[in-house]
Amino acid sequence: MSVSGKTVVVTGAGSGIGRAACELLCRAGARVGAIGRREKLLHTLGDELRTEPGELVALPADVGSASEVEAAVRALTERCGPVTGVVNNAGLARFAPIDSASLSDLDAMFAVHLRGPVNTLRACLPALRAHRGAVVNVSSVGGALAMPNRSLYGATKAAVNSLTRSWARELAPRIRVNAILPGPVDTPMYADLGLTDTQTETLRADLLASTPLGRFGEPHEVARWITLLLDDDMSGWITGALVPVDGGRTT
Ligand SMILES: NC(=O)c1ccc[n+]([C@@H]2O[C@H](COP(=O)([O-])OP(=O)(O)OC[C@H]3O[C@@H](n4cnc5c(N)ncnc54)[C@H](OP(=O)(O)O)[C@@H]3O)[C@@H](O)[C@H]2O)c1
């Protein structure tokens, strides 16, 4: 795979889809800068991947902070060379009807879904331009579908789709920018939606019923598409694409 030897930043690397992306990238020989706030998760992952051909560098940082992301990218570059791939995956889901949705949750989702990709892209921009890099934003089908009772999450993901298309045009031809739109994927995200256990169970049942392939996706099924879109051999002529990996949920 042409990701071998690349230096790739993955945000939200400690769990779920980001963790699976780090595993696949390290197995394929990439050097991965793993960003997240919970440092222990990143070190544990690094230990687990020690025997893989690539390398994982734990970079504790909050993607909402430009200075923390810049410091993380600087440390990665000093150790592994210029960044040629970025995976903007960090995310937060707070679901509530609009009557009761919290504005501080909205601010937090904007910080991680919007400020995060902006901070990370900017920190890596000179290297991505110089080396014809690729960016993959992990959005959601929620950015494309109506999202009753979780409209604020959907709105922040619609903004990620907009950034993806605008950046694809603005940064071409030097940098490719694409997004993955996952459907429901079994990750720790469902343990922390701001809902009661019963509400979460009802939501999961509704998501299952509206997914034609009849099951939740697994993190590695999304991670494979992330690595494909980073790979110039496979995706060198693809930019601005919003790729659903969703068990058919958007059909
Ligand atoms: N699971 C699904 O059904 C689904 C569906 C569609 C889209 N997605 C998207 O997929 C992406 C990955 O989510 P997931 O399902 O894998 O959930 P997850 O396991 O909860 O992963 C989210 C990761 O983001 C990190 N994160 C959150 N805020 C951060 C911040 N401010 N700075 C740095 N890292 C931060 C978290 O780590 P720390 O807390 O340690 O920082 C966590 O590792 C998200 O963008 C999510 O919206 C998921």
> Does 153 participate in catalysis according to the annotation?
yes
Q: Which of helix, strand or coil describes residue 179?
A: strand
Rounded Cα distance between 113 and 13, Å, is 14
Name the residue among 185, 129, 174, 179 with its Cα closest to residue 159.
179
Are residues 50 and 28 in contact, defined by beta-carbon separation less than 8 angstroms?
no
**Side chain identity at 240, as an amino acid letter?**
G
- pLDDT tens per residue across span 149-196: 999 999 999 999 999 999 999 999 999 999 999 999 999 999 999 999
The whole-angstrom separation of Cα 177 and Cα 86 is 9
Round to whole Å and give the CA distance between 116 and 69. 9
Share of the chain above pLDDT 90, in %: 99
What percentage of the chain reaches a pLDDT higher than 70?
A: 100
Which architecture characterizes domain 7-243 according to CATH?
A: 3-Layer(aba) Sandwich (3.40)
Cβ(216)–Cβ(187) below 8 Å: no
- Tell me, using a 6 A CB cutoff, whether residue 188 lines ligand 1: yes
CA–CA dist 96, 117 (Å, integer):
24
Nearest to 32 by CA among 102, 93, 96, 83: 83
Q: What distance in Å separates the CA atoms of residue 39 and residue 171, rounded to the nearest whole number?
A: 32
How many C-beta atoms lie closer than 10 Å to residue 97's C-beta? 10
Q: Which of 227, 148, 221 is nearest to 182 (CA)?
A: 221
Query: What is the DSSP-derived secondary structure letter of residue 194?
Result: S
> Residue 114 gets which letter from DSSP?
I
- What is the pLDDT, as a whole number, of residue 71? 98
Ligand 1 lined by 200 (C-beta under 6 Å): no
Q: Is 156 helix (H, G, I), strand (E, B) or coil?
A: helix
Closest approach atom of ligand 1 to CA 185? 3
Q: With residue 35 as reference, give the H or E element that holds it.
A: strand 31-36
Mean pLDDT of 3-31: 98
Three-state DSSP at 181 gives: strand
What are the backbone dihedrals phi and psi of residue 115, each rounded to the nearest 5 degrees, phi first? Answer: -60, -40
For the record, the structure tokens of 117 come out as 């990709």
What distance in Å separates the CA atoms of residue 58 and residue 67, rounded to the nearest whole number? 17
54: nearest Cα among 82, 86, 24:
24
Using the atom order of ligand 1, give the atom closest to the CA of residue 186.
1
Mean pLDDT of the chain: 97
Confidence of residue 2 (pLDDT cuts 50, 70, 90): confident
In ligand 1, which atom is closest to the CA atom of 108? 31
What is the per-residue pLDDT across 50-88, written as a single tens digit (0 to 9) for each? 999 999 999 999 999 999 999 999 999 999 999 999 999
Residue whose CB lies within 8 A of the most ligand 1 atoms, among 9, 10, 11, 15, for a mutation test: 15
Instruction: State whether the beta carbon of 18 lies less than 6 angstroms from ligand 1.
Output: yes
What amino acid occupies position 226? I
State if residue 8 touches ligand 1 by the CB under 6 angstroms criterion: no
pLDDT at site 1: 57
Average pLDDT over residues 191-220: 97
